[in-house]
Amino acid sequence: METFAYLASILIGVSLGLIGGGGSILTVPVLVYLFGINPLVSTSYSLFIVGSTSLAGAFTYYRNSQINLRTAAFFGTISITTVYLTRKFLMPIVPDNLFQIGNFTITEALLTMILFAVLMVAASLGMIRDKEKTPGCLTCDLKSNVIRLVLSSIGIGLTTGLLGAGGGFLLIPTLVLIMGMPMREAVGTSLLIIALNSLIGFLGDLGHFAIDWLFLIKVTSIAMGGIVIGTWLGKRVASSQLKKGFGWFVLAMGLFIITKELVWPLLGGFSPV
């Protein structure tokens, strides 16, 4: 199982390189279901793995002039602050057991996975249904979208802080559907924002968990190999296919997690992780 888990880690990088997101969507399930790590610790580890891998991928897109630095700076300033405050001050005070439904206990770990899955489903539907706007990233008007972008930045920061998700599955729809970015520029810009959010969020975790650095470095190194593959594939796949393919992938993963963590336990099947 561990060997399979390390192989699956390659897909974290492939996803980030190919579609600018989805790395954390893979990272948390891989850590929880294949490596057997606690969901809350997994969200912390995910921040480091996804952040480091995204930073490596962003460098390639930057060299190809496929990152909108102005948009990244706008998002980053707001979302990074939100992420850090959430991980540093909010997460440590959340109780382990939140409430009960009959004999079924809703724990912090379970709620984390369910919220993670619900956001995945919501984001996937937007990517599958909406048509791309006319590309125009280099002339994006931040002023006309400032309120929506501020709210999106805070939402993405909270998502990253609470769930350990880099936010790519929310960032890509925001950049493409609100900002009108071409898919590839959205991918590059998303990678840079994910890297900043995730690594700052991880810094907020230091001192709260015992970190297995050797394990983190191994998984991150494997994921970085995957991002090279993903970036190469991204140059050979149409943007419209990337967007819809990403949406269907996120939808399938979200439904799987909801079924695994909530539906089966309530029906008397598997117990929550």
Q: Look at residue 187 and tell me if it is in a domain.
A: yes
Q: Look at residue 272 and tell me if it is in a domain.
A: no
pLDDT at 273: 46
Give the helix ranges, DSSP H, for the chain: 2-19, 23-29, 39-63, 69-85, 108-129, 146-163, 168-173, 183-205, 213-234, 239-258, 264-266
Neighbours of 5 (CB within 10 A): 17
pLDDT at 180: 75
pLDDT at 20: 60
Torsion of CA 138, 140, 142, 147, to 10 degrees: -140
Q: Look at residue 20 and tell me if it is in a domain.
A: yes
Q: Calculate helix-pair angle for 69-85, 146-163, nearest 10 degrees.
A: 50
- What is the rounded CA–CA span in Å between residue 227 and residue 23? 10
- What is the rounded CA–CA span in Å between residue 164 and residue 25? 9
Q: What length is written for the chain?
A: 273
Range of the domain at 163: 2-266
- Nearby residues of 231 by Cβ (< 8 Å), 6 or more positions away: 17, 18, 57, 60, 61
Q: Look at residue 71 and tell me if it is in a domain.
A: yes
Q: Look at residue 273 and tell me if it is in a domain.
A: no
pLDDT at 168: 67
pLDDT at 137: 45
Handedness of CA 84, 254, 27, 153 (dihedral sign): negative
Note down pLDDT in tens along the chain; length 273 residues.
677 888 888 877 777 776 666 566 678 778 888 888 887 788 888 889 888 888 887 887 888 888 888 888 887 788 888 887 887 777 777 777 777 766 767 777 777 778 778 877 876 776 677 554 444 444 455 566 677 778 878 877 877 777 666 666 677 777 777 777 787 788 788 888 888 888 887 887 777 778 889 999 999 999 888 878 877 777 777 656 666 777 787 788 788 888 887 777 766 654 444
Domain count, the chain: 1
Q: Decide: 43 and 112 in contact? Cβ < 8 Å.
A: yes
pLDDT at 214: 92
Q: Look at residue 271 and tell me if it is in a domain.
A: no
Q: Calculate helix-pair angle for 239-258, 108-129, nearest 10 degrees.
A: 150
pLDDT at 144: 61
